[in-house]
Chain A
């Protein structure tokens, strides 16, 4: 598909220092500097962030919806990975 607007980039915004970067949308740009500037103008017009990541969409690898069952299935029967699986005698504190 021809695109006169340049390739698509995905934008991730960090709200405050220390917080995770969260995907907020995408945009078109010809290079990384332009992608970063466009991301600032498009997604942080109201100080929504203190840091930005831009990633070419084509570089993102994602799982397929059809895989939903089998791909994530190995985690389903491992309740012992959660703290609530274990019984602690009454009266024992700070654990």
Chain B
């Protein structure tokens, strides 16, 4: 099967989750009105008329974004108890708490489109919904925590800065909050990597090893190449995305290489070369077969991540039940009084 077909299959499968929302809401006149609104760069708000496919696309994208934030807490949470100093520990705790917060902003933004939190969580827990494939890689050493903040959050910011101008109001507003908070994430990551890169030879090796393992998966975070990205055309047409996967990937590389050079580390890409003509770097091809394997559930940590989420949800069940019982009882007492 060609890659293009594989992506189609995966995304077609994902969008089936929300098939219940489909109600043949086609209306040429309204679609014309909607397109004109987008042309004027006006934001779409929850109560506005919108094409079904726009709604479905947003639910898929925003909920996957939310899942990524929540699952993203796991690889970093892995190091909270082993942080090398109290300062490193409070920073990491604050960062992981932020990721949880970002997930919640995004879930509520998705819920404005008429889908419930339970449906969204269910799609994640049953493996129907995707999350960013990067979080299926393990954090093996402390250097990985620096690399995740610097590279993974750096790549996420590249995407999220663009999404601050996305056409759906609640999503754009969530992105503005998130971007404000993310820049701390990236800076603390780079600071942490600096300590290692300018430390002992052994520490420098740790930093290089982390860069070697995270570089390519980070580049894959921007998604398939434009030629192989079936959802991109609609996303651009509807102004959900304003730049393509390849454009964002190129900008990330251009910005990050000087940061790597400053550290005295080596980019694990023999094809990397400055191209004067395009005023950017040429780079090698990511291993898209690996990307497909990870996104289809066969990465190093997919099962572990999903199990951790399901266990956390089940483990919290009694807390939710108790909170609800307490609220119900109090309401009854207020009513009786």
Contact surface of A with B, Cβ cutoff 8 Å: 1-6, 8, 24-28, 30-31, 34, 41-42, 45-46, 62, 64-65
Size class of the contact patch on chain B: 20 to 34
| A2 and B174 alpha carbons, distance in the complex (Å) | 24
Collect the chain A residues with CB atoms within 8 Å of residue B323's CB: 6, 30-31, 34
A66 to chain B, nearest CB (A): 8
The answer to whether the Cβ of B104 comes within 8 Å of any Cβ in the partner chain is yes
B118 touches A6 (CB 8 A): no
The answer to whether the Cβ of B256 comes within 8 Å of any Cβ in the partner chain is no
Collect the chain B residues with CB atoms within 8 Å of residue A65's CB: 45, 47-49
**A-B pairs with beta carbons under 8 A, tally:** 61
The answer to whether the Cβ of B117 comes within 8 Å of any Cβ in the partner chain is yes
The answer to whether the Cβ of B6 comes within 8 Å of any Cβ in the partner chain is no
A6 touches B111 (CB 8 A): no
Collect the chain A residues with CB atoms within 8 Å of residue B94's CB: 45
| Given A25-B105, A42-B104, A65-B49: A30 in contact with B324 (beta carbons within 8 A) | yes
A45 touches B98 (CB 8 A): yes
The answer to whether the Cβ of B307 comes within 8 Å of any Cβ in the partner chain is no
Collect the chain B residues with CB atoms within 8 Å of residue A5's CB: 117-118, 320
Collect the chain A residues with CB atoms within 8 Å of residue B330's CB: 31
Interface residues of B in 84-107 (CB under 8 A from A): 94, 97-98, 101, 104-105
Give the 8 A-B CB pairs with smallest separation, nearest first: A31-B327, A30-B327, A1-B116, A30-B323, A26-B108, A65-B48, A5-B117, A30-B324
